[in-house]
Amino acid sequence: MARGGFAQWGNDLYTGRKSYPIVQKRKLWYSIVAAFSLASVLVLGLQGLNLGIDFRGGSEFTVSGTSTTDEDVAINAVATVAPGEEPHVSQVGANAVRVQVSQLDNQQTDQVGQALADAYGVDVSEVTSNFIGPTWGQSVSMRALWGTVAFVLAAAVFMAIYFRAWRMSVAAIVAMLTDVLVSAGVYAVIGWEVTPSTIIGFLTILGFSLYDKMVVFDKVRENTAAVTEQTRSTYAERANLAVNQTLVRSINTSVVALLPVAGILFVGGFLLGAGTLKDISLSLFVGIAAGALSSLFFATPLDVTLREREPKIAAHTKKVMDLRAGLVAEGADEGELAAAASGSAQLVPGHHQGQSAQPRRRR
């Protein structure tokens, strides 16, 4: 790739020669996020998630004395009675097949039993049906929920301490929860059955989203470490520079993280028909994309909005703006004005560098 390509674009973003006003346009991003969140809440509220056997329990059929234990036979047989079902089929012992489907009414139960008996060529008496409880019951869900709550709280405390700014931590957590909400909304729209794998997928999103925000915010932290000690740029401008500087990294990371998941989802799920992995890969795909986007377009602007309410930052922003207005009023050097809001490196007033910065004696 010659000059002017992706690498050049990265350079321009780093030096601030090219800069996208991401933080400045935050009202636009907020409305987009609000629209998506509202849509997700509506979809989840109206349609709800389609919980699978593992959560609700269902009917279990055991076909004994079969000559074949081919799983497709059972899947086809169930499909003739209840087309929407995704049965779990497994082989029990040497010549029995266990078929689990979500809860059926009595008539359907009889029909499925008959269909299975026909399909496997055995007598109806060889097919027993039973109610099976959820493997992922209330208690498991509650423990998973409390675990997640504890983890989110702990992460919030950790980030507040690490960044020494609770507003940053709040911004990250809010953005992360929005990611999960939107992912759940997309999942509900598609209407696939929610399995334990899906839940694991959502937890992974939680982790990834928080991780990505941590990386982006660390750059913001770095860029704004001494923001109040200079009067050239505001907190918002420095944060925007951070987002721009980390853009290349975010794109690279998201592509690398998404490629294997996309492979499983699109190649595996749609072309090869590997249905067993589609639930987890869909939740991961949507979640990772949402997580990476929201770090840049939602979490950082939200952080700026919140932190501009911090008295110290608010006072500093006002000071910078007043200075700029003063410069303009005086009709001062335009070059200086241009330099004001750009620049790649953190401007720090000169200070003593310590002994180590002194020239060494040559040996």
* Residue in 184, 221, 217 with CA at minimum distance from that of residue 203: 184
What is the DSSP pairing of strand 193-194 with strand 50-51? Answer: parallel
Judged by CB under 8 A, the residue of 69, 178, 224, 300 near another protein is: 69
Query: Segment 143-162, which members bind another protein (CB under 8 A)?
Result: 143-144, 146-148, 150-151, 154-155, 158-159, 162
Do 253 and 209 touch, CB atoms closer than 8 A? no
- What count of Cα atoms within 13 Å lies in the side-chain half-sphere of residue 106? 0
Residue 118 vs 131, nearer CB to another protein: 131
Query: How far apart are alpha carbons 149 and 155 in whole angstroms?
Result: 10
- Per DSSP (E only), the strands in 152-274 are 193-194
Query: Segment 186-205, which members bind another protein (CB under 8 A)?
Result: 196-197, 199-201, 203-204
Judged by CB under 8 A, the residue of 44, 170, 248, 347 near another protein is: 248
Residue 215 vs 314, nearer CB to another protein: 215
Judged by CB under 8 A, the residue of 2, 45, 123, 358 near another protein is: 2
Residue 41 vs 56, nearer CB to another protein: 56
Q: What are phi and psi of 297, to 5 degrees?
A: -95, -15
The H or E element that residue 285 is part of is helix 278-294
What is the DSSP pairing of strand 96-102 with strand 193-194? Answer: unpaired
Judged by CB under 8 A, the number of residues near another protein is 114
Judged by CB under 8 A, the residue of 57, 114, 126, 170 near another protein is: 57
Query: Segment 98-137, which members bind another protein (CB under 8 A)?
Result: 98, 130-137
Quick one: tokens of 179? Answer: 């990611």
User: Does the protein bind another protein through residue 242 (CB under 8 A)?
Assistant: no
What's the one-letter identity of residue 320?
A: V
Do 219 and 245 touch, CB atoms closer than 8 A? yes
The region of 18-26, 28-36, 103-111, 300-308 touching another protein under the rule CB under 8 A is 18-26
User: Does the protein bind another protein through residue 67 (CB under 8 A)?
Assistant: no
Residue 189 vs 215, nearer CB to another protein: 215
- x-marked contacts with another protein along 166-185 as a string, rule CB under 8 A: --------------------
**SS3 assignment, position 128:** strand
Angle at which helix 166-190 crosses helix 26-46, to 10 degrees, equals 50
User: Does the protein bind another protein through residue 140 (CB under 8 A)?
Assistant: yes
Least CB distance to another protein at residue 70 (A) = 11
Residue 3 vs 351, nearer CB to another protein: 3
Residue 46 vs 357, nearer CB to another protein: 357
Across 329-360, b (16+ Cβ under 10 Å) vs e yields eeeeeeeeeeebbebeebeeeeeeeeeeeeee
Least CB distance to another protein at residue 111 (A) = 20
Least CB distance to another protein at residue 310 (A) = 21
Q: For the chain, how big is the Rg over CA atoms in Å? A: 28
- 90 DSSP β-pair partners: 98
Least CB distance to another protein at residue 355 (A) = 18
User: Does the protein bind another protein through residue 326 (CB under 8 A)?
Assistant: no
